[in-house]
Every structure is written in C-alpha cells, then in structure tokens.
Amino acid sequence: MKKLLLLLLIASALVAQSNMKNKYSMRVAYGKSTSSNLGSDIIGDVAGDVANLYVYDLDGGYLLQKNLLDMPIDIYAKGSFSYYDEGNYKDAYGADIYIKAYYNFDFLKNRVRFGFGEGVSYTSRTLITEAKDAAVSQDNTSKFLNYLDISLDFDLGKLVRYKPLDETYVGFLIKHRSGIFGLINNVKHGGSNYNSIYIEKNF
C-alpha cells in the first residue's frame, strides 16, 4: 500500500505540471481476487479467495467525447498495466485495452461517476484464480480474454471543498476477465474478478 501511495504522489506531481485541461486520466488501484461470480460481486455478495491473490494496477486514459449526445456521459480510450501478486505461485503481469463510459451525476453537492468499460486483456500466464475456476468444470483457460472495468467513484476535491483536488476521484472497481461464456478461446468459466479501490486523476 505504501508503494501505491508513493506512485499516486508522483503521478499527482506530474499532472500538476500539465497545461492540458482534463483530456487525460491516470489511475492507481489495488485489488484482491474473489471467488464470487461477477453478478455477486456487483451486488456486494463477495466471497473471499483463500489464496490471497492481489493486483496492483496503473491505468491511463484519453477523453474521446465529453457529454455524449448532450447527456452526462464521457467516453475514454484506456489502457492499463497490472502486476498480479500470486502469493506462493509465480507472479504474473497483464495489460488491458478498453473503451470506458462514465455516467456523471451530482449527489449532495458532489460529482459521482458510474463507469463501465469493455475491451480485451492479456496476462503473461494463466492466473491462479482463473485456473482454479476452470478446474472445477474441467474448462479451458487462456491468457487472452475479454475485459470489463466496472467502477463507482466520487470527486474528492468537491467533497473536501479543496479546488486543487477537483477531478480527483476515489472509488471502487471490479476488474473482470472472462471468455464470455465460451465466445473467446472456448473459455466458459476460467475467469477472474478483482475487487479494488483506486484513486484517479483527470488532467
């Protein structure tokens, strides 16, 4: 966690020097694997993974469209690099490329965003949590899978009334990899969910 906070401070220092106006985003996240399916994770019915598998994630984005069709929806092209701490197993690395939409709304004088991203994900080897999931039903595994990025966050600057922190978002994220019920590399199970916390800065 200390490394994650240090990375955030460095990122904040870099974006503070930028003259761009909220065209880019940078996110750092820390998450833990769950043995729940995606639907259970979304509604909060989370089962922990006894293997204690973690992910550290650095994500960057570029704003493609603000207020899509005059609605409070922003569209970003995003990419991330992940380090998977696999506990007693060999660690893995991953990369995700995706398009993400944020629906913005105001709540108690604060900006809240619901985000949904769709794309592809690649890992340097099959993740342990995916191998365990596949083994239950003797399913296939794959390093290349579909990727979903589902998040909910709020604007920290507006919450604490400190303008330099405006467009700094703190939130909860589900990183989901799957074969879309066999559509990708015939992976019907063999997926993974990492419930994560993050800080994201638009600059």
pLDDT along the chain (203 residues), means of 10: 54 49 94 81 68 94 97 98 95 98 93 98 96 86 97 96 94 96 87 95 95
Residue found under tokens 């006894």: 50
Q: What's the pLDDT at 190?
A: 80
Q: What is the pLDDT of residue 4?
A: 53
CB 179 within 8 A of CB 145: yes
DSSP state at residue 164: G
Phi, psi (degrees; rounded to nearest 5) at 14: -70, -45
Give the per-residue pLDDT at 56: 98
Residues 6+ apart with CB under 8 A from 168: 12, 155, 156, 157, 199, 200, 201, 202
User: Does the domain made of 2-202 have the CATH classification 3.40.50.620?
Assistant: no
Phi-psi region of 181 (alpha: psi -120 to 50; beta: other; left: phi over 0): left
For residue 93, give every residue at least 6 positions away whose Cβ sits within 8 Å of its Cβ, in sequence order, or none: 81, 82, 83, 84, 123, 124
